[in-house]
Amino acid sequence: MTNTATVRSQPEPIDEIELKKRKKWPWIVGGVVAVTAVAAAIIVPQLGDTRSANEIAGATLYVATVEGQPSETALVKFVAEEVAPKYGIKVEFRGLADSTTINRAVSEGEIAATVYQHKLWLGQVLEANPDFLEEAATPVFRWGFGLWSDKWATPDDIPEGGTISLYSDPANEAQGLYVLQAAGLIELDPSVPVYEVTVKDIVSNPKNLSFTLLDFAAQSRALPDLDGAVGYTEYYLSADIPLEQLIFAPAPPDEFVGQLTIGSRWKDTENIQNLIKAFQDPAVQDWLATNPESANRLLPLD
């Protein structure tokens, strides 16, 4: 059965988001990304040297994420305390306010790396900010991400005409649609890359589901008003929604693997090469698999 996907208005507290044609802009785990360049001061101790810390033996290498991401913060701190000394480097965590600020800091050598983006998101950031010189250096983890419901126990239970929420930024909308297709609720146009699909690329919708696009915080708050929502485990657990309400969570495709990203100008320096080795150390995957601080939120690669 072939149906067009519909988007319908929701009662308060859901804010309706108008669907438009596919756009290319960066998405962020934790909020909406500003894709215009920002002139923000990066609060990093000055080294008293015109060179980047990336070039200075013994300098502290700051690895940043967006503020308020406890699992990613814990991961960086683990690497700093338990892994980095094996490679002769000093690592510290820095939380900064938004994606563009962080990526500009990495590009300019004020921050050594980030650990909160996948390649596609980084590509969108670079497209929006062509002066940035940054690249993905190594995959690190997969985010917990799936279909949540406090009304239904399985995807098959979702009724005819049910309403499902997706995130309102393009990359997370695409990842949400991937989950719904894996759950057998929809079919997507196979000619469109998995990271570019929108609800307009749904070619089969047998239950006549409607889709509403919400931001990160609004989606978890609105769960009681929805039949289901596709989102990050991090946000649902932080909102005290029990893990039992995660009713379907397939392994994310490689396109959405979290990467260590670095400034391209310093990729061959000894500091950055050792930083990459630290995040590639098997201890990192062991930590992701066993540590309660990341359980169900950040997943090992395999």
pLDDT (0 to 100) of residue 69: 83
Domain 53-143+255-299 classification at class level: alpha beta
The pLDDT > 70 percentage for the chain reads 84
Q: Where in the chain is the domain with CATH 3.40.190.10?
A: 53-143+255-299, 145-251
pLDDT (0 to 100) of residue 166: 98
Tell me the C-alpha distance between 57 and 62, whole Å. 14
Three-state secondary structure of 13-40 = CCCCCCCCCCCCCCCCCCCCCCCCCCCC
pLDDT digits (tens, 9 = 90+) for 229-244: 999 998 899 899 999 9
Give the residue with greater pLDDT, 168 vs 171: 168
Please say whether the beta carbons of 226 and 152 come within 8 A. Answer: no
pLDDT digits (tens, 9 = 90+) for 86-120: 999 999 999 988 888 999 999 999 999 999 888 87
Please say whether the beta carbons of 146 and 179 come within 8 A. Answer: yes
Q: How far is CA 47 from CA 57, 81, 83, 104, 137, in A?
A: 12, 22, 24, 18, 25
* Average pLDDT for the chain: 85
Pick the CATH number of 145-251 from 3.40.190.10, 3.30.360.10, 2.70.70.10, 3.30.70.1400: 3.40.190.10
Q: How far is CA 284 from CA 66, 80, 281, in A?
A: 20, 11, 6
For residue 5, what pLDDT band results from cuts at 50, 70 and 90? low
